[in-house]
Amino acid sequence: MDDRQFRNAMGKFATGVTVVATEVDGNVYGMTANAFMSVSLQPKLVVISIAEKAQMLEKIKQSGTFSVNILAAEQKELSMIFAGQLKEHRDVEFEHLGKIPVIPGAIAQITCEVSAAHVEGDHTLFIGKVTNIQLEDGEPLIYYSGKYRKLENDD
C-alpha cells in the first residue's frame, strides 16, 4: 500500500480543525492539527498526535502543557498560518487561559497538562489532562479530503 492511498483514505474522515498552542520561555508556538479526540470523561482526557518532524513536539515536551483551540468557520487563515501554508509571517494575538496561550475567537479553548506521551511510528501521542475549557458560539471550520469546508444545514 502506498503513502498516497493511506493519506487519501484518512482524508475521507471529515474533521474539525484545531490549533495546538504552547508557551516556552515566554514564546508562544502554534500548530494546526486535526488529529485530536476526546479520550475519557472521568478523568477528563484528550489526545493529540504530533509528527516527529514538527517543531511543536519539543515545545510541548518542554512546557508540559498545551491548549487545543477548535477553529471557527471564519478562522481558515489561522489554520493556514499555523500549518505553514502561507509564505509570509503574520503576527497572531494570543490570550491566556490560566497560564496557557489560547486563540481568541476559537469556538472551544481547551487547556491541558501532559499526562502521558506515547511514541507510535513517526508521531507522538500526547494525552492531555484537561485543566480548563472556554466555549464560544459559532460554526466550526471543517477539513475534508485536503480542503477546507463549512457546515451546511440539512433543512
Q: Does 19 bind ligand FAD (CB under 6 A)?
A: no
- What are the residues whose beta carbons fall under 8 Å from the beta carbon of 94, sequence distance 6 or more? 21, 28, 30, 101, 102, 103, 104
Rounded to the nearest angstrom, the gap between the alpha carbon of residue 86 and the centroid of all alpha carbons in its chain is 17
The binding track of 56-95 with respect to ligand FAD, each residue x by CB under 6 A or -, is x----------------------x-xxxx----x--x---
Helix (H, G, I), strand (E, B) or coil at 88: coil
Asked if 50 interacts with ligand FAD (CB under 6 A), we say yes
The strand pair at 100-102 and 36-40 is best described as: unpaired
Which residue's CB atom is positioned nearest to ligand FAD? 35
Backbone dihedral angles phi then psi of residue 142, each to the nearest 5 degrees: -115, 145
Among 39, 51, 125, 127, binds ligand FAD (CB under 6 A): 51
Rounded CA separation 141/16 (Å): 6
126 binds ligand FAD (CB under 6 A): no
Residue 40 Cβ vs ligand FAD, minimum distance, rounded to whole Å: 19
Residues near ligand FAD (CB under 6 A): 17, 28-35, 49-51, 54-56, 79, 81-84, 89, 92, 143
